[in-house]
């Protein structure tokens, strides 16, 4: 037996410069501290051209902000190493 389930996820799509994008994200979190609580997050990095180390740093920066990334979209699969979401 197979059962499907659909759910809504929040998609974060960082833009360059990433430092400014993080500043905007931090402002959002200050206004609404519980905004990301319990929400599935997908990280869309298409167009950024990140390599594995930069992608890992981006996910780690989000993790430090208590934002848990469940999936990465727009990345080369070879750049998704151990410890990174699929």
What distance in Å separates the CA atoms of residue 24 and residue 72, rounded to the nearest whole number? 20
Output the six-digit token pair for 27.
């402002």
For 15-49, what is each residue's pLDDT tens digit? 999 999 999 999 999 999 999 998 989 999 998 98
Residue 77 corresponds to which tokens in the numbers above?
A: 């699969």
For residue 34, what are its two tokens? 């519980």
Average pLDDT of the chain is 91
- pTM, rounded to two decimals: 0.87
Is residue 80 within 8 A of residue 51, CB to CB? The reply is: no
Share of the chain above pLDDT 90, in %: 69
Cα 86 from Cα 73, distance rounded (Å): 8
């Amino acid at each position: 037996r197979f059962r499907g389930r659909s759910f809504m996820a929040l998609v974060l799509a960082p833009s360059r410069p990433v430092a400014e994008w993080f500043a905007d994200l931090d402002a959002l979190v200050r206004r609404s501290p519980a905004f990301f609580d319990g929400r599935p997050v997908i990280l869309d990095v298409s167009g950024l051209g990140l390599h594995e180390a930069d992608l890992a740093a981006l996910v780690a920066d989000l993790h430090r902000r208590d934002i848990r990334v469940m999936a990465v979209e727009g990345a080369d699969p070879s750049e998704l190493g151990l410890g990174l979401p699929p």
